[in-house]
Chains A and B, each alone.
Chain A
Amino acid sequence: MFDALAEKLQETLSDVRGRGTLTEDDVNKAMREIRLALLEADVNFKVVKQFTAKVKERCLGSDVIGQLNPGQQVVKIVNEELTALMGGASAGITFSPRPPTVILMAGLQGSGKTTATGKLARLLEQENGSSVAVAACDVYRPAAVDQLVKVGTQAGATVYQQGTDRDPVDIARWALDQAKMDGKDVLIVDTSGRLHIDERLMQELKDIRSAVRPHAILLVVDAMTGQDAVNVAEQFAEAVDFDGVVMSKLDGDARGGAALSVKQVTGKPILFASVGEKLDQFERFHPDRMAQRILGMGDVLSLIEKAERQFDEDEAKELERKLRRDEFTLEDFLKQLKQLRRMGPLTSILGMMPGLAGQQMKNLKVDERELDRIQAIILSMTPEERRNPELIKGSRRLRIAKGSGTNVQAVNQLVKQFGQMRKLMKQIGKGKMPDLGALMRQAR
């Protein structure tokens, strides 16, 4: 998500990195680049000014000039300041000791409140085992109630709705009563999108807040928002003093500077990130990791967490054993492929790998359909062939090609690539790190 920014900072700082000492001129040049990059990333103008001033001050301080490797020091400072700006360690929602915990969703039109409501409901059910209900208080946008009914039901939540004829404040109050009666752990109140300068609707939001006394108010902010993000955040903070932010549409290529801006001007943490169209593409936001990602250090921690959720530990051990003994078969490969794909689109996974952010990623485009084909080919093999790819000759090739709707060349290529991969795995198994560049070329 912040790849482009990471790339720019890397470009700028690689210049500084390569040198022994750092002059004031160098610092100024780097700051100009950082300033431009941050502005291009839609970080608010004022926030950029403050940020670069701070970084410059620290760079010019004695802790840099005269040090052994000033370039590295600059990266470190930018990283630290960026981390500080993004909000330090990640925060969560505090649950009320007396359920239901009430969460109120607010935001501009089209920021993604209803979708986020459904996704949050699912996350809380999955992670905390909570029984969640959602309340449909958007009575203005046509069919918004229908949308929440569908999304909420898909998420496995109970949906409280009373159509569009009642006052949203009354609906919210009624929904809270229902949630209490039904013994729900969490009630998420979806509200209609409103402009931060619409006094009537902002008053309505305040009224809903008074009616349900939420334990947490979340502001949903579109990751693509420009300079205006600070106005929106400031006004919503003033009206309802929200507790945290949900960044939506972070799966796009927006650099998401709005995240930095909102954090800086309101001091409110970013709690969740919405990263796709599917209900489960919603995760906790990790500000500390995000800063590292901006600097191109990769989001290894997120990747590990994702992998942990998807991979069975015993299976992983078994795999490791197989790798070491060179017993890895196409059957295992198929299993791996399926698990990997369950983690999300491959490009987003690769984007989290250190060193793969930025320039290289641009050229690397994983064709998901290609993976479909690979899967189809393996599935068209007999279990025996999957275990012993050497068996695949002449007529078997033809049969597999026909069965998978591909051609003999594709089957050949897969078998050949699998052989190469096995060799590579053997190297890793022996503790040798493979050449990343060679890997990239193969991947392409």
Chain B
Amino acid sequence: MARDWTDLFLTGDGGPSAAAEPEPEQQEKRRGFFRRLRENMSKPREALTTEIQATLFDTLDEETWERLEEALIMADVGARTTAGVVGTLEDEATSGKVEGGPALQERLVELLAGIARTGDDHIDVRHEPTVIMAVGVNGTGKTTTIGKLAWHLQQELGKKVLLGAADTFRAAAVEQLQLWAERSGADFVSGPEGSDPGAVAFDAIAKGRERGADVIIIDTAGRLHTQDDLMAELTKVRRVIQKQMPDAPHETLLTVDATTGQNGLRQAKLFSEAVPVDGIVLTKLDGTAKGGIALAIAGELGIPVKLIGIGESLEDLRPFDADDFARALVAP
């Protein structure tokens, strides 16, 4: 399970196993982050009293399961996934397989984490160069995510990163990515506003190879998954990338806003029909939304969450950890 940066990225030199035993300092850092995530995620809920109380499983009756259902639905997990989880837990409790409040609480987290943990949740950066394509609906945080990812790739892995500004549609999107490139110290390639995004992507990869970049990240314009012509354009950008490098893009990341409701499932489904999506970046988890839609996406479509965004600064991008996420989802 990806927990630290060294676990998330497959790098040719040793890979995840090299970092099997994290330094104590790192562990400390992680716990600190986990606390923060939990605090962030539970803060605003007092008024709504849907929080799962530590005492929820002390007495088991109809209300227990209703409260649990409510809590998961309020976290945007969705009716179907919620029904599945609650049903399983109720069965196990009734049959006496799991007994006692703490055990049930742990089992709940286990069930949720089990759903979240799907597919291969690594990002393979062993290709020379590795091409990553960022896609998503407008305003979900693609450009910001790319800036942060570039910074981490350089900081954690010492990779040389180039950003390609293939969002040629939205006003000032190119400038926004350029500023992120400057902040993160990445190289930058763009075309004129309104030019063909495929051409920019093609050019970015050519230049990246020329200049010896290790990782090339292609930003694309935000688009609603219902706009067929724009989704076709995305497929085309991918095809153009493949002309330059047949096995690229090696990683296609879909950004999903944590405040998104059940429509997130449609987003993930339709985007992965246009371009195979390898992983989800769950952004804006620093708000009050718990991002339960990621669970539905993982459960129903088998697309793993790989990264989470928890703030606006460069370091506010983290590898996704299914256990932490599951705990925060039902944190007392």
Residues of A within 8 A of B (CB): 36, 39-42, 45-46, 108-112, 140-147, 149-151, 154, 195-197, 222, 224-232, 234-235, 249, 251-255, 257-258, 277, 365, 368
Would you give the shortest CB distance from A10 to chain B, in whole angstroms? 19
Report Cα–Cα, A40/B312, bound state, in Å. 30
Of the candidates A196, A255, A277, the one whose C-beta lies within 8 Å of that of B263 is: A255
- Interface stretch (choices B89-97, B120-128, B132-140, B271-279): B132-140
Chain B residue nearest to A114 (CB atoms) is B171
Assess the B284–A197 pair: CB atoms within 8 A: no
Report Cα–Cα, A106/B233, bound state, in Å. 32
Chain B residue nearest to A141 (CB atoms) is B176
26 A-B pairs whose Cβ atoms sit less than 8 Å apart in the complex: A39-B73, A40-B78, A108-B284, A109-B312, A110-B138, A110-B257, A142-B143, A143-B179, A146-B171, A146-B175, A147-B176, A195-B286, A195-B287, A196-B287, A222-B257, A225-B260, A226-B262, A227-B75, A228-B259, A228-B290, A229-B259, A232-B287, A249-B138, A251-B224, A254-B261, A365-B228
Assess the A254–B140 pair: CB atoms within 8 A: no
Would you give the shortest CB distance from B274 to chain A, in whole angstroms? 15
Of the candidates A110, A147, A230, the one whose C-beta lies within 8 Å of that of B172 is: A147
Given contacts A195-B287, A197-B287, A231-B44, contact A224 B263 (CB under 8 A): yes
Report Cα–Cα, A68/B228, bound state, in Å. 46
Assess the A42–B262 pair: CB atoms within 8 A: yes
Give the size of the chain B interface in residues (CB under 8 angstroms): 53
Report Cα–Cα, A249/B224, bound state, in Å. 8
Whether a CB of chain A sits under 8 angstroms from the CB of B173 is yes
Whether a CB of chain A sits under 8 angstroms from the CB of B226 is yes
Whether a CB of chain A sits under 8 angstroms from the CB of B141 is yes
Assess the B226–A253 pair: CB atoms within 8 A: yes
Would you give the shortest CB distance from A144 to chain B, in whole angstroms? 7
**Chain A residues positioned under 8 Å from B292 (CB to CB):** 226
Would you give the shortest CB distance from B269 to chain A, in whole angstroms? 11
Chain A residue nearest to B169 (CB atoms) is A277
Given contacts A112-B139, A253-B263, contact A227 B74 (CB under 8 A): yes
**Chain A residues positioned under 8 Å from B286 (CB to CB):** 195
Assess the A110–B140 pair: CB atoms within 8 A: yes
Would you give the shortest CB distance from A274 to chain B, in whole angstroms? 10
Report Cα–Cα, A224/B265, bound state, in Å. 11
Would you give the shortest CB distance from A116 to chain B, in whole angstroms? 11
Assess the A108–B259 pair: CB atoms within 8 A: yes
Would you give the shortest CB distance from B276 to chain A, in whole angstroms? 21
Report Cα–Cα, A329/B262, bound state, in Å. 47
Chain B residue nearest to A369 (CB atoms) is B229
Contact with A along B63-98 (1 / 0, CB 8 A): 000000010011110110000000000000000000
Report Cα–Cα, A36/B138, bound state, in Å. 28
Contact with A along B209-237 (1 / 0, CB 8 A): 00000000000000011111100000000
Report Cα–Cα, A16/B56, bound state, in Å. 38
**Chain B residues positioned under 8 Å from A222 (CB to CB):** 139, 257, 259-260
Whether a CB of chain A sits under 8 angstroms from the CB of B264 is yes
Assess the B287–A108 pair: CB atoms within 8 A: yes
Chain B residue nearest to A192 (CB atoms) is B312
Assess the A232–B139 pair: CB atoms within 8 A: no
Assess the B172–A252 pair: CB atoms within 8 A: no
Would you give the shortest CB distance from A148 to chain B, in whole angstroms? 8
Whether a CB of chain A sits under 8 angstroms from the CB of B288 is yes
Most B CB within 10 A of own CB, among A224, A226, A365: A226
Would you give the shortest CB distance from B272 to chain A, in whole angstroms? 16
Would you give the shortest CB distance from B290 to chain A, in whole angstroms? 8
Whether a CB of chain A sits under 8 angstroms from the CB of B186 is no
**Chain B residues positioned under 8 Å from A145 (CB to CB):** 172
**Chain A residues positioned under 8 Å from B280 (CB to CB):** none
Assess the B138–A112 pair: CB atoms within 8 A: yes
Assess the A227–B137 pair: CB atoms within 8 A: no
Would you give the shortest CB distance from A400 to chain B, in whole angstroms? 26
Assess the A42–B257 pair: CB atoms within 8 A: no
Would you give the shortest CB distance from A49 to chain B, in whole angstroms? 9
From 1 to 55 in chain B, residues with beta carbon under 8 angstroms from any chain A beta carbon are 43-44, 47-48, 50
Would you give the shortest CB distance from B43 to chain A, in whole angstroms? 6
Would you give the shortest CB distance from B193 to chain A, in whole angstroms? 8
Would you give the shortest CB distance from B213 to chain A, in whole angstroms? 21
Given contacts A46-B48, A110-B140, A368-B229, contact A253 B266 (CB under 8 A): yes
Given contacts A146-B171, A197-B288, A252-B224, contact A226 B76 (CB under 8 A): yes
Given contacts A110-B284, A197-B288, contact A226 B259 (CB under 8 A): yes
